[in-house]
Amino acid sequence: MPVRRAYALALVLTILPVAQQAPAQPAGLADPEEIAAKQKAVDRHLLRVQQERFEADARGDDPLRLKRLQREFRRTQQRRRELKRAAEQAERSH
């Protein structure tokens, strides 16, 4: 059993620093048209999640569901910001 724990700990310590690094730009997005298409999709998703969150709140849904929707909304906002930065970088480089 101690060998398994040591192996698991070594694995976690190896993967953890890599998992915590956030990419400066979404992987594989260098083409401005591709970035624009991705931005459009993320914007639509952001609106859908926001609407679902407000409707769930108005209905008085379970607080755990509201919390999940809030987390999804924040993650989508973060993706939107990353895509905006990628678009600005692509515009400067082209």
Mean of all residue pLDDT scores within the chain: 81
Residue in the structure block whose two tokens are 């755990």: 64
User: Taking the mean position of all CA atoms in its chain, how far away is CA 71?
Assistant: 10
The confidence score (pLDDT) of residue 26 equals: 52
Q: Which residue has the tokens 């997005």?
A: 29
What the block records as the tokens of 48 is 């859908």
DSSP letter for 29, please.
-
Residue 7 has pLDDT above 70, yes or no: no
- Report which of residues 31 and 64 the model is more confident about: 64
pTM: 0.64
User: Buried b vs exposed e over 70-88: b needs ≥16 C-beta within 10 Å?
Assistant: eebbeebeebbebbeebbe
